[in-house]
Structure 1
């Protein structure tokens, strides 16, 4: 018989797509160079400010320019005081290597970061700035390693969630983008609903040192300060902190970002009459009808997952009162339902992260345990948990005309 445990499966295909907390504790894996006496590669660090980053000897010099820029833009957008766990990787490695299982350890490099944070990380970001001799293999308009990394990252995230009960998403750069939108792969044809890809930077490709990646720090910062249900492109939240945004060397204002969006990439945009830059939306590399096609839904369901585990683990191997026919005692089932509903309500609904209904007592969460289950014979208790997310005004249609009352 298997080891007693809790199994939580993500239901999918249901939605149909036609406050201070730990939800924004993230991890960063980045190419870097060691700094003698203060910063080592393949070692996990946690910082809460740029002062601590500088104390590690990470400065905006050519050696660690991109790492410094990413952390600087993260705190510029999110504000200082937020935890950022990060790990520097050798510049002769590929991003996909970080998500590849090491045959000697049986684990990936990213797991070292995840384990060091003890399950706190709800998102992982990557920053690619390899050695100057690295020549990306371009296919479909970007480095082929991007899609390879996405596939491996999805597998790691799924497995880590199942084994550690600590779900997370991954945000990658569209590294090496040629600027040809037509060549780009259609991310909506993939099934990587824990992975998103950003195109666009705060500096020109022609910069020194040259940037072939994206402004990962800005998007990490916006996600860190947002609640799980808030879209990163929400206009009411205000413009992003960056003063410039480019796709290669072209300002975002003149680039065809709508086509980038149609291909499933996240990018920067502007709004007429509004100053500053905003994100286009928050899609993952998955089909539009996937319930977790958007990071908002991904983050909401992941938080509900964590709360469900933390609540129900107390019931593992609990002694259960039974009815005469071996079924679960209905009072016990109701108490269990109530505990989980209360936990999700107090940690999510109260903070506006789930949709309340106009019906009295509806808090956007419903837990059901069928009392007819015979756990005497199966030792398995099935629990159904449903949470109601928010909707988003992705399109607003207005009919505008004159109102004139003619006299007869």
Structure 2
């Protein structure tokens, strides 16, 4: 009998979204012999789909355990956010980590990267790492290429992690200690060759996917919007979340680490919060605050740079800046913030310019901008009881 059979194929065509909030980076450090062929000459590549990664030599059948982990991380990133624009950097494992490769990848992307993950599965966590990473990030910020960094080090004993390393303006770094306790991640962790000090598989790919998928003002801890898709949450030492004492969970959260948690009545797992390693009382204690400010700064710069070298008119009688010159600059500085407010990324803003500034002497105009952030509801308190009437 005659017949026609059509089979649907998934071409994994990369999706495109507006803006650049989703532009991300991923760095891994491998032994020289383990570096995939596609990264041996050019250590940084744009990777739009898992198919692209596989063509570059990042496969789940590789002889290298680390390359298999890298394939898993990228698969998780694309699972969470198929629309991500991703730059992957694979570098030879250094004897002394300076993390300057962050700048290498950011420069390759022409400063477009907004968030980046560092997988260092066999490098034990060290507080000095945070200082080094923040230093590179600060240098990029000074070059108008700010970004947030998710750092995934080796964790051999979750109870031995220091909980007093947050602070000192480490607001561009977050430490991920999450791992999936089942599926591919658990299989990879079990297969890790060093049985005494196992390298961590980590779930930094999941976290990067969540950050890149979230609007800049949104917390990745939002239960309704950002499930992890990990059914059995664990930590980077293989310990399951359900086996950890609540006191240690609270201690790790207070230490500002990122990991998976569960909620009674909700299936799956979620992020404990969106901490950076800055002080808990800092304006930049959460990733969404850093991303929101970075977006505002990038936008304001885009509109104000063309004004450099332009004329400012002065009232001949008072010496003050003319009102129409002030109005023009305020309107120009407002544009990026107006767009962000319309998108729900800011609650409000205000731009002010003092007309008494002596522009003729200094050739400098000071603009003061105040932003009102969007709040995040981290706790809900409900009072309930019986009453004679409603």
TM tier relative to shorter chain: 0.7 to 0.9
Which residue number corresponds to residue 381 of structure 1?
A: 365
Which residue number corresponds to residue 30 of structure 1?
A: 28
> Does the alignment pair 1:250 with 2:239?
yes
Q: Write out aligned runs for 1:182-261 (5 A).
A: 183-202=161-180, 203-204=185-186, 206-209=189-192, 210-247=198-235, 248-255=237-244, 256-261=248-253
- Which runs of no fewer than 5 residues in structure 1 stay unpaired? 1-18, 100-107, 131-135, 137-141, 356-363
**Structure 1 112/208 Cα, relative in aligned 2: closer, same or farther at 3 Å?**
same
Give TM-score, length-normalised by structure 1.
Answer: 0.81
Alpha-carbon distance in structure 2 between the residues aligned to 1:177 and 1:26: 28
Q: SS where residue 345 of structure 1 aligns?
A: helix
1:272-293 deviation per Cα after TM superposition (whole angstroms, max 9, x unaligned)? 0000010000111111111001
Cα drift, residue 166 of structure 1 = 1.8
Alpha-carbon distance in structure 1 between the residues aligned to 2:137 and 2:93: 24
Cα drift, residue 251 of structure 1 = 1.7
Question: Is residue 127–residue 216 contact of structure 1 (8 Å, CA) maintained in 2?
Answer: yes
Give TM-score, length-normalised by structure 2.
Answer: 0.85
Which residue number corresponds to residue 3 of structure 2?
A: none
Cα drift, residue 238 of structure 1 = 4.5
Which residue number corresponds to residue 10 of structure 1?
A: none
Match of 2:281 among 289, 302, 315: 289
Cα drift, residue 110 of structure 1 = 2.1
**Structure 1 174/261 Cα, relative in aligned 2: closer, same or farther at 3 Å?**
farther
Q: 381-390 vs 204-213, which deviates more?
A: 204-213
Match of 2:154 among 170, 175, 179: 175
> Does the alignment pair 1:269 with 2:261?
yes
Match of 1:403 among 377, 387, 390: 387
Alpha-carbon distance in structure 2 between the residues aligned to 1:91 and 1:155: 20
CA RMSD, Structure 1 to Structure 2 (Å): 2.0
Alpha-carbon distance in structure 2 between the residues aligned to 1:218 and 1:368: 41
Question: Is residue 187–residue 265 contact of structure 1 (8 Å, CA) maintained in 2?
Answer: no
How many residue pairs end up in the alignment? 353
Which residue number corresponds to residue 13 of structure 1?
A: none
Q: Write out aligned runs for 1:8-407 (5 A).
A: 20-32=18-30, 33-36=34-37, 38-40=38-40, 43-60=43-60, 61-63=62-64, 64-79=67-82, 81-93=83-95, 96-97=97-98, 99=99, 108-130=100-122, 143-144=125-126, 147-162=127-142, 164-181=143-160, 183-202=161-180, 203-204=185-186, 206-209=189-192, 210-247=198-235, 248-255=237-244, 256-324=248-316, 325-346=318-339, 348-355=340-347, 364-405=348-389
Q: SS where residue 72 of structure 1 aligns?
A: helix
Question: Is residue 199–residue 213 contact of structure 1 (8 Å, CA) maintained in 2?
Answer: no
**Structure 1 382/153 Cα, relative in aligned 2: closer, same or farther at 3 Å?**
same
Cα drift, residue 62 of structure 1 = 4.4
